[in-house]
């Protein structure tokens, strides 16, 4: 069975990329299993468990996937980097490049973690509010 299955993609996974993994039966091309996911994120100033603790008893009533939570944390971490670069470096030449924002590691400062956690919680609650009308 091992020789009859191929796992795609067959490459080194890059940080901050969207991937689709497929398990394909060789010869027939039949897709046995498929999943889209984001690779690990850097920077990521929080963890889904911290968000779950912050949301407390509200979280069981909210419909959110763990992958979505990771993605929201990542997006809010990039926003934290944008704020940092905007206030501490001169943005008059067009602002920081996206590569600089993605590569920056501010450090695990308490205020950054709390800001990211609060913003993710707000985003999750806002999504739920729009879903329920």
CA distance 21 to 7: 7
- Identify the pLDDT of residue 108: 60
Higher pLDDT, 7 or 12: 12
**Would residue 127 count as lying in a domain?**
yes
- Identify the pLDDT of residue 97: 75
Higher pLDDT, 12 or 69: 69
Q: pTM for this structure?
A: 0.64
- Domain shared by 55 and 89, yes or no: yes
Quick check: 90 pLDDT over 90? Answer: no
Higher pLDDT, 90 or 114: 114
**Would residue 43 count as lying in a domain?**
no
- Domain shared by 58 and 10, yes or no: no
**Would residue 27 count as lying in a domain?**
yes
**Would residue 61 count as lying in a domain?**
yes
- Identify the pLDDT of residue 6: 62
Count of domains in the chain?
Answer: 2
Higher pLDDT, 72 or 108: 72
- Domain shared by 86 and 58, yes or no: yes
Give the domain extent around 92.
48-132
């Amino acid at each position: 069975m091992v020789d009859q299955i191929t796992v795609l993609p067959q490459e080194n996974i890059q940080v901050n990329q969207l991937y689709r993994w497929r398990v394909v039966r060789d010869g027939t091309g039949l897709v046995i299993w498929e999943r889209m996911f984001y690779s690990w994120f850097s920077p990521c100033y929080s963890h889904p468990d911290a968000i779950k603790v912050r949301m407390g008893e509200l979280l069981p009533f909210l419909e959110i996937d763990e992958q979505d939570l990771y993605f929201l944390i990542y997006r809010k971490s990039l926003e934290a980097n944008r704020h940092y670069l905007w206030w501490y470096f001169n943005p008059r030449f067009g602002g920081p490049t996206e590569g600089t924002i993605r590569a920056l590691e501010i450090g695990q400062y308490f205020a950054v973690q709390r800001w990211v956690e609060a913003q993710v919680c707000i985003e999750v609650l806002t999504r739920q509010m729009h879903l329920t009308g």
